[in-house]
Amino acid sequence: MAEVHLSVVIPAYNEAERLPRVLAAVTACDAVRQVIVVDDGSEDDTAKVAEGFGVQVIRLASNRGKAGAVWVGLQEARQPIVILLDADLQGLQPHHLMALAQPIAEEGVDMTLGVFRGGRFWTDLSHLLAPWVTGQRALPLERARQLPDFSALGYGLEAALNKFAREHGWRVKTVVLRGVSHVMKEEKLGFWRALAARSHMYWEVGKGWLLSLNGQKPDHVRRFQGKI
């Protein structure tokens, strides 16, 4: 692969326990030149943990949701390729970041989607059924600069990014992240709180799919209803 330089944006909310695994892999990747952790109003030591790795940390005074945190991080990205990662990943290795970046650097792809395989059954299954929900992505900085403000979309971010890419003719490629998974909400929150969190997440995902990033419903929105 030709030499690439990467910015990595990681939104994090109460992830002090899980974030070190992700940052250990990210900071071990030779191509990474900038790491931005956006502490989304955490009530634990997420920011302190991130600072311990010597990365750039942005502390938000209140919780803005995933899309809000990612939007803030993207404004600080400076390298030619930007990678978006969740803060609770398991099994992430430096070569996974290169796998996300390679199609952009060598094939001119506009966005890559990293899907889980060979990690955990339930996370593998979710990405098998709906690969478009993945939070592990890469895109050229120039493409990131073309995105309108999506900060209010919460967990609808990924669906809206997919919609924007389709509407604007971006080339999108799926990349297998073998051995990677993430901690499930049930493990973080317990069953009932996780159920409420998932319900809210799916509501925001649905809104993200049905709305364009400029906040307007596209003319062909009816074509996608029920076919997510």
Residue 185 has pLDDT above 70, yes or no: no
Q: What confidence category does residue 225 fall into, taking pLDDT thresholds of 50, 70 and 90?
A: very low
Q: What confidence category does residue 130 fall into, taking pLDDT thresholds of 50, 70 and 90?
A: low
Q: In the predicted model, what is the mean pLDDT of the chain?
A: 82
Q: What confidence category does residue 217 fall into, taking pLDDT thresholds of 50, 70 and 90?
A: very low
Q: What confidence category does residue 199 fall into, taking pLDDT thresholds of 50, 70 and 90?
A: low
Distances 78 to 8, 73, 103 between C-alpha atoms, Å:
10, 10, 19
What separation, in Å, do the N-terminal and C-terminal C-alpha atoms of the chain show? 34
Write the burial class of residue 34 (CB in 10 Å: 0-12 exposed, 13-18 middle, 19+ buried): middle
Residue 142 has pLDDT above 90, yes or no: yes
What are the pLDDT digits (tens) for 93-110? Answer: 999 999 999 999 999 999
Residue 196 has pLDDT above 90, yes or no: no
Report the DSSP beta bridge partners of residue 139.
82
Residue 209 has pLDDT above 90, yes or no: no
With contact defined as beta carbons under 8 Å apart, do 23 and 54 qualify? no
Residue 129 has pLDDT above 90, yes or no: no
If DSSP codes are grouped into helix, strand and coil, which group holds residue 58? strand
pTM of the model: 0.80
Residue 200 has pLDDT above 90, yes or no: no
Q: What confidence category does residue 179 fall into, taking pLDDT thresholds of 50, 70 and 90?
A: very high
- Give the pLDDT score at 192: 42
- Of residues 24 and 227, the one with the higher pLDDT is 24
- What domains appear along the chain, each with residue ranges and CATH number? 6-223 (3.90.550.10)
Put residue 169 in one of left, alpha, beta given phi > 0 → left and psi -120 to 50 → alpha. left
High-pLDDT (> 70) share of the chain, %? 73
> What's the one-letter identity of residue 156?
G
- Give the pLDDT score at 188: 55
- Give the pLDDT score at 163: 86
- Residues whose CB falls within 8 Å of the CB of residue 163, separated by 6 or more in sequence, listed in order: 208, 209, 211, 212, 213, 218
- Give the pLDDT score at 220: 34
Residue 223 has pLDDT above 80, yes or no: no
What are the pLDDT digits (tens) for 16-49? Answer: 999 999 999 999 999 999 999 999 999 999 999 9
